[in-house]
Amino acid sequence: MKRYSICPFCFERINLHKVDFRCANAPGRCSPENDVVLANFLGVSSHITNKVVKIPLATTVWEKLKAWLWAPREVICGVCHEKTSLRLCPRCHSELPYTIGEYQDLIFAVIGAKEAGKSHYISVLIEKVRNEIGAHFECSLQPLNDETIRRYREDFYNPVFRKKEVIQATLSARADSRVRVPLIYTLSFKKKRKIRDVVTIVFFDTAGEDLDSEDTLRTENKYIYNSSGIILLLDPLQLPAVRVELPANTPLPGENSETEYLLERVAKLIRMAHGKRPTYLIKIPLAVAFSKMDALEPLLEGSSLNYPSQHDGIFDLNEFESVNGEMESRMREWAGSLIQSLEHNFKSHAFFGFTALGCNPHGSQKIDKLRPRRVEEPFLWLLWKHKLIGDQTFLSQLLLKLRPFKISVFMLGVVFGLVISVLLVGIGEVLLSPTYVYEKTDELPVRLVPDDSVPRRFPVTGAEKQPSTLPSVPIEPPKGVVKAVPSLQSPVEFVRAYYADINGGDVESAIRKWKSPNEVQLRTLIEESQWVKINRVTLLTRERSDSVEVSVEVSGKQKSQRTQQKWAGTLVLEKVAGEWKIFEMQLSEVLPISPSPARKLIMTGAGVGLRKEPRSARQGNVVTQLQIGSVVSPLEKITKKGEAWYKITTSGGQEGWVHSKYTMPLDSNNQEQAYVDVAKRKLSSQADFGTLVELCNFLNRVSQQVSAPARAAELKSLYLAALQRSLEQIPRDQHDKPRYSNWLKRQRAKIEYNESTGGWVVKK
Ligand SMILES: [Zn+2]
Ligand SMILES: [Zn+2]
């Protein structure tokens, strides 16, 4: 039994030893009265209800000790002398859940900007948790009081699931006292028909405009700063960078700039309330979830965000990382400043994408077909963060098993420390032999590369070279040091292993992976192929069954072909004698997107390397350098390790890869605006001398191409601003260095020397 808890109504931290009670007797037997405290909280002038009963004052030493040791569970009404166990929050006089203090109380705050889809999210999430998640994770979500049942039915379930209508925007909690009724649930986890864990979960539907960092006393604000997890909903359709990329006929909500400030306001509020310095990193886990991802399908080709999530019984870290990484890189493109704000404010955050309705409700107010996707993922992440569900790692599974015994990570650490130090004594011998490290690459699932820091006793060949020269028999690591192949492979690992066989030329192993192989065809295929690698592999069905479908995308080059090709499709796997076998495979070639004249990119970075391959650090990888404002045509876009890269051709016909963070979509109807945007973006950053010179050259060039006089003048003034900034970057004593003196000479007509400051300035 805990001493302190958070009231799920007013979200005030309360001492459970000092609660009030409400008389439970029938109104005829004990006369009701006006509860001023509750009336105040509900925002009404009076609220007639049963009497409030205070805990009797402790007078003797024994009573005082008892009051300190145990929280009171019942008291006797001073008027009717009946026992009552209805506990009230001492602050707001709302009736506390009977489970309060017995279990972990988690308040999950769902917040979002106006029209971000909070109400839809809550309605669909609760249904999802009650049904599917309940089945997958052996847990059950139960409403804790009648108000929760009623409010969920009336305000959430009925509109979405029965009437199939769009829920109107949440009213401000200040405007409507009904919104003040939170949805309170208990989520209980079972293990072998026994209760393992129970948590109280509270959802409070708060309107974005209610957030005000100055007023820490308001209920809506306490809900956030006393929460154990925050789900911040963002509507990508409200972000300007997304709107320009979408097909022209997409129905859109109003543009909304408050999204960016919302996060800052939340962070400021939490720090104010807990009296923390502005540099303090907030520890409440924050799930940043993009809603309405269905509308973005045209931009998300081949992304796992287009598929339902696969968390079944465990929180799948691989899946989580891939979604988190992809969303983060998207977000860098769409709202880079938000990422920075996140990193400066929240210690633990992750990105998600979901759709609550599965269809775009803007325009029509009807939901034609309800197809929610990935709504549960942010919620599962928060449960995982609070160690209520486990992931695939051994430690996590172990901790979950030990939960009923309340064993902490710290104690486990002590035990492991002892075990390891005992083992180390015996293992000293093994440590002197060559050690192996894992190098994870995209080409192969796992490659073993000897660690150079340890002297080698035997030469290793092949392993460090390109995959095409890998020997057909992989090098076995010394027994007992690392195991490269797990005993039972997941379907995804199996598919990766199959392509590793083809890439490595291991015909026999590839043949063994088919249920009924066509040997001749396979041999020809493997001989024909120069190299092949997997770009993406996703499990489409549940892993537990004996037949699964896997979607893959592979690139490769055949010896007879001049260029590389790309294939995508599905594999059907069947479990035969405990091993996966390929039953059927349907792949078709993906043709590269032809450069469309309508959609181009403009380079926003100075001297950005055009690279042979989509990776930053590699010598000899740079084809050429692209100047600020260069207009390029994208051919292909990939996301790699959470970073997005474009394959592009320059106007001069050179091909290569650029990192998406140095690009901006260019609206061909409004190129001039793009020039202004690029310049403003650069001028608002910490640009160095070289960058500013490049920016000046770019602005000088384009201001002469522009026909509208107002635009030309705007570009001209940006040019002068960039010129002034470039002059400020020149150190006072280095005016005669060639790098600077050449620039000063070229700009001589526009600048003058200021005697008093000893520096060059733009002429007035
Ligand atoms: Zn309260
Ligand atoms: Zn009474």
What ligand is nearest to the CA atom of residue 8? 1
pLDDT value of position 617? 64
> Which pLDDT band holds residue 205 (cuts at 50, 70, 90)?
low
Question: CA-based angle 297:302:307, to the nearest 5?
Answer: 70
Task: Convert the pLDDT of each residue in 498-547 to its tens digit.
Answer: 998 888 888 889 998 998 888 888 888 888 888 888 888 888 777 677 88
pLDDT value of position 461? 39
Question: CA-based angle 71:229:175, to the nearest 5?
Answer: 85
pLDDT value of position 466? 40
What ligand is nearest to the CA atom of residue 37? 1
User: Alpha-carbon distance 556 to 531, whole Å?
Assistant: 5
Q: How many angstroms separate the alpha carbon of residue 141 from the centre of ligand 1?
A: 23
Tell me what the mean pLDDT of segment 675-695 comes to: 85
Higher pLDDT, 115 or 597: 115
Residue 188's Cβ-side half-sphere holds a number of Cα atoms within 13 Å equal to 14
3-state secondary structure 128-188: HHHHHHHHHHCEEEEECCHHHHHHHHHHHHHHHHHCCECCCCCCCCCCCHHHHCCEEEEEE
pLDDT value of position 439? 37
pLDDT value of position 20? 94
What ligand is nearest to the CA atom of residue 13? 1
Mean pLDDT value across the chain:
78
Q: How many angstroms separate the alpha carbon of residue 26 from the centre of ligand 2?
A: 8
What ligand is nearest to the CA atom of residue 78? 2
Report which listed range, 18-22, 466-470, 591-595, 714-718, is most confident. Answer: 18-22
Q: How many angstroms separate the alpha carbon of residue 105 from the centre of ligand 1?
A: 14
Task: Convert the pLDDT of each residue in 531-542 to its tens digit.
Answer: 888 888 888 777
Contacts of 763 (CB under 8 A, 6+ apart): 750, 751, 752
pLDDT value of position 653? 81
Q: How many angstroms separate the alpha carbon of residue 81 from the centre of ligand 2?
A: 6
Tell me what the mean pLDDT of segment 594-610 comes to: 72
Q: How many angstroms separate the alpha carbon of residue 239 from the centre of ligand 1?
A: 37
User: Alpha-carbon distance 29 to 732, whole Å?
Assistant: 91
In the chain, % helix, strand, coil (3-state, to 5) comes to 35, 25, 40
Contacts 24+ apart (CB under 8 A), 180-184: 180/9, 180/42, 180/43, 180/219, 181/147, 181/148, 181/151, 182/8, 182/9, 182/148, 182/223, 183/122, 183/126, 183/143, 183/148, 183/151, 183/152, 184/8, 184/97, 184/143, 184/144, 184/145, 184/148
Q: How many angstroms separate the alpha carbon of residue 372 from the centre of ligand 1?
A: 34
What ligand is nearest to the CA atom of residue 19? 1
Q: How many angstroms separate the alpha carbon of residue 674 from the centre of ligand 1?
A: 52
Q: How many angstroms separate the alpha carbon of residue 116 from the centre of ligand 1?
A: 28
Q: How many angstroms separate the alpha carbon of residue 118 from the centre of ligand 1?
A: 24
Report which listed range, 291-305, 406-420, 722-736, is most confident. Answer: 722-736
> Which pLDDT band holds residue 681 (cuts at 50, 70, 90)?
confident
Out of 362-366, 389-393, 608-612, pick the least confident. 362-366
> Which pLDDT band holds residue 482 (cuts at 50, 70, 90)?
very low
pLDDT value of position 429? 43
Which architecture, in CATH terms, is 104-392? 3-Layer(aba) Sandwich (3.40)
Domain 592-678: state its class. mainly beta
Task: Convert the pLDDT of each residue in 53-79 to its tens digit.
Answer: 998 888 888 888 888 888 888 899 988
> Which pLDDT band holds residue 177 (cuts at 50, 70, 90)?
low
Out of 52-56, 150-154, 166-170, pick the least confident. 166-170
b/e 315-337 (16+ beta carbons within 10 angstroms → b): bbeebbebbbbbbbbbbbbbbee
- Alpha-carbon radius of gyration of the chain: 32
Q: How many angstroms separate the alpha carbon of residue 14 from the centre of ligand 1?
A: 8
Neighbours of ion ligand 1 (CB under 5 A): 7, 9-10, 89, 91-92
Q: How many angstroms separate the alpha carbon of residue 513 from the centre of ligand 2?
A: 76
b/e 433-450 (16+ beta carbons within 10 angstroms → b): eeebeeeeeebbbbbbeb
Task: Convert the pLDDT of each residue in 38-60 to its tens digit.
Answer: 988 888 888 899 999 998 888 88
Locate 601 and state its tokens.
Answer: 């990119």
Neighbours of ion ligand 2 (CB under 5 A): 23, 25, 30, 77, 79-80
Contacts of 367 (CB under 8 A, 6+ apart): 160, 164, 165, 166, 357, 359, 361
Which stretch of DSSP H or E encloses residue 498? helix 491-504
pLDDT value of position 199? 81
pLDDT value of position 446? 37
Task: Convert the pLDDT of each residue in 565-584 to its tens digit.
Answer: 777 778 888 888 888 899 88
Q: How many angstroms separate the alpha carbon of residue 149 from the centre of ligand 2?
A: 28
Share of residues in the chain with pLDDT > 90 (%): 9
pLDDT value of position 361? 59
Higher pLDDT, 340 or 560: 340
Out of 548-562, 571-585, 689-703, pick the least confident. 548-562
Q: How many angstroms separate the alpha carbon of residue 103 from the centre of ligand 2?
A: 29
Higher pLDDT, 486 or 104: 104
Taking phi first (over 0 means left), then psi (-120 to 50 degrees means alpha), and beta for anything else, what does residue 578 get?
left
Report how far apart, in Å, the C-alpha atoms of 209 and of each of 191, 265, 266 are: 42, 11, 12
Q: Does 87 have pLDDT greater than 90? A: yes
Locate 626 and state its tokens.
Answer: 């692209």
Q: How many angstroms separate the alpha carbon of residue 405 from the centre of ligand 1?
A: 32
> Which pLDDT band holds residue 23 (cuts at 50, 70, 90)?
very high
> Is residue 372 within 8 Å of residue 120, measured between CB atoms?
no
ipTM score here?
0.94
pLDDT value of position 485? 45
pLDDT value of position 448? 39
Higher pLDDT, 495 or 437: 495
Q: Is 81 helix (H, G, I), strand (E, B) or coil?
A: coil
pLDDT value of position 257? 62
What ligand is nearest to the CA atom of residue 14? 1
**Is the CATH code 3.40.47.10 the one for domain 433-475+487-589?**
no
Residue-range domain boundaries for the chain: 4-88, 104-392, 433-475+487-589, 592-678, 686-764
pLDDT value of position 420? 66
The single-letter code of the amino acid at 317 is L
What ligand is nearest to the CA atom of residue 223? 1
Q: How many angstroms separate the alpha carbon of residue 26 from the centre of ligand 1?
A: 24
Contacts of 382 (CB under 8 A, 6+ apart): 106, 108, 228, 229, 231, 285, 287
Q: How many angstroms separate the alpha carbon of residue 227 from the centre of ligand 1?
A: 14
Q: How many angstroms separate the alpha carbon of residue 182 from the centre of ligand 2?
A: 28
Running DSSP on this structure, what letter comes out for residue 660? G
